[in-house]
Amino acid sequence: MRDFPALPYPWQQTAWQRLGAQLEQRQMPHALMLAGPQGIGKRHLAQALVQRMFCVAPASGTACGKCRVCDLLKAGSHPDFIELEPEEPGKAIRIDEVRALTQTLAQTAQQGGYKAVIIDPAEAMNVNAANALLKPLEEPAANTLLILISHSPSIVMPTIRSRCQIHLLPLPSADQVLSWLSPLVTGRGMSPEQLLSASGGAPLKALALLDGDALEWRQQLQDGLLQLTEERISAIALAGQWLNADVTLTLEWLLAWAHDLARWRVGASSAVMDTLPEGIQERLRHISLSVLHRYLEKLLSIKKQLLSGANPNKQLLLEEVLLDWGLVLRRRAGAVAS
């Protein structure tokens, strides 16, 4: 765990108080699902909850950070706390890992207290892996908490979902994000508003944009897309260029960019769109909103497929979304849809 003890983010106070009350009143179910958009800190909240639950002397609602149990958690070596995630982002969680997990859960806690598991994200379990998790969900051992993280609860198997108490965590308001983000990004070359806009409103994604090559990479993506918009490059050539990066991240960027465009088209200000060259803005102003919304839906459905572990031909997938962008540009507002 990176920061210890983990404190909930400012926008998580309501959820934190609700979970804390459940813990104190001994009404914690054996399975929780923390569901909401990516980049809002669901995993962080889950870790904070596990720390508070395990700590032998929690103070003011958080782990003390000093006891023996806290030391084990801090070192990542507590034998009764397991975090399960895909080996690489976008890959599936393997069935043998879920099986190993259920075996561990069936044993008595080594430290004599609680056992806890975080699965992040739940939708990365395919049908077989999810089925392997049904037993501990249906017949939970005492003092065990399973926390499933989900960015897209609708694609998690209903048999899994229905056995969890679901906590929906919404995207925080722009004001909440900006007041948290502003002191962290001072003097880093991009305004908090630009970062917020480029991240689709997800605070941790906004912060991650400042890391390493992320800014330059996103600038390259936008430059490529603008070249395509001005027909200075073909969709197929651009797909070839984009093939070098993680296709899920690229699609997420495109989705956030197109969302931003849709909001800008109906009059919202956008730190990204407002700074584009006038010629490009003029083109984007004439896109049909209904066509743009259909494009967004399509991007979202492709993203869901990728998150659920689908492994399509990346070149073809990128070609398709970029050729579709060309169609969006040609279908002007006011033109008769065919």
CB of 312 to Zn ion, least distance (A): 46
DSSP 8-state code for residue 155? G
User: Residue 56 or residue 184: which is nearer to Zn ion going by CB?
Assistant: 56
CB of 6 to Zn ion, least distance (A): 12
Site for Zn ion in 179-208 (CB under 5 A): none
Which residues on adjacent β-strands are paired with residue 166? 33
DSSP 8-state code for residue 275? G
User: Residue 70 or residue 118: which is nearer to Zn ion going by CB?
Assistant: 70
119 makes contact with Zn ion (CB under 5 A): no
- Separation between Cα atoms, residue 266 and residue 245, nearest integer Å: 31
Residue with tokens 């049909």: 288
CB of 69 to Zn ion, least distance (A): 6
Do the beta carbons of residue 84 and residue 93 sit within 8 Å?
A: yes
Binding mask 45-64 for Zn ion (x = CB under 5 A): ----------x-------xx
User: Residue 66 or residue 167: which is nearer to Zn ion going by CB?
Assistant: 66
State the Cα angle at 102 between 81 and 37, rounded to 5°. 65
Do the beta carbons of residue 144 and residue 133 sit within 8 Å?
A: no
**Residues in binding contact with Zn ion, number by CB under 5 A:** 5
CB of 50 to Zn ion, least distance (A): 12
List all residues 6 or more positions away from 324 whose beta carbon is below 8 Å from its beta carbon. 295, 298
- Separation between Cα atoms, residue 246 and residue 232, nearest integer Å: 24
User: Residue 16 or residue 325: which is nearer to Zn ion going by CB?
Assistant: 16
CB of 111 to Zn ion, least distance (A): 12
Helix ranges restricted to H, 55-149: 68-74, 95-106, 127-132, 134-138
The sign one gets for the Cα dihedral 28, 32, 38, 43 is: positive
105 makes contact with Zn ion (CB under 5 A): no
CB of 8 to Zn ion, least distance (A): 17
User: Residue 116 or residue 178: which is nearer to Zn ion going by CB?
Assistant: 116
CB of 51 to Zn ion, least distance (A): 8
Nearest to 165 by CA among 29, 26, 23: 29
User: Residue 71 or residue 230: which is nearer to Zn ion going by CB?
Assistant: 71
Residue 35 main-chain phi, psi, to 5 deg = -115, 140
174 makes contact with Zn ion (CB under 5 A): no
CB of 300 to Zn ion, least distance (A): 41
67 makes contact with Zn ion (CB under 5 A): yes
User: Residue 5 or residue 224: which is nearer to Zn ion going by CB?
Assistant: 5
User: Residue 63 or residue 164: which is nearer to Zn ion going by CB?
Assistant: 63
Q: In what order do the strands lie in the sheet with 115-119?
A: 81-84, 115-119, 144-150, 31-35, 165-168
70 makes contact with Zn ion (CB under 5 A): yes
Stretch that binds Zn ion, among 38-46, 66-74, 177-185, 316-324 (CB under 5 A): 66-74
User: Per DSSP, which regions of 47-161 are E strands?
Assistant: 81-84, 115-119, 144-150
User: Residue 64 or residue 280: which is nearer to Zn ion going by CB?
Assistant: 64
CB of 56 to Zn ion, least distance (A): 6
72 makes contact with Zn ion (CB under 5 A): no
Residue ranges in contact with Zn ion by CB under 5 A: 55, 63-64, 67, 70
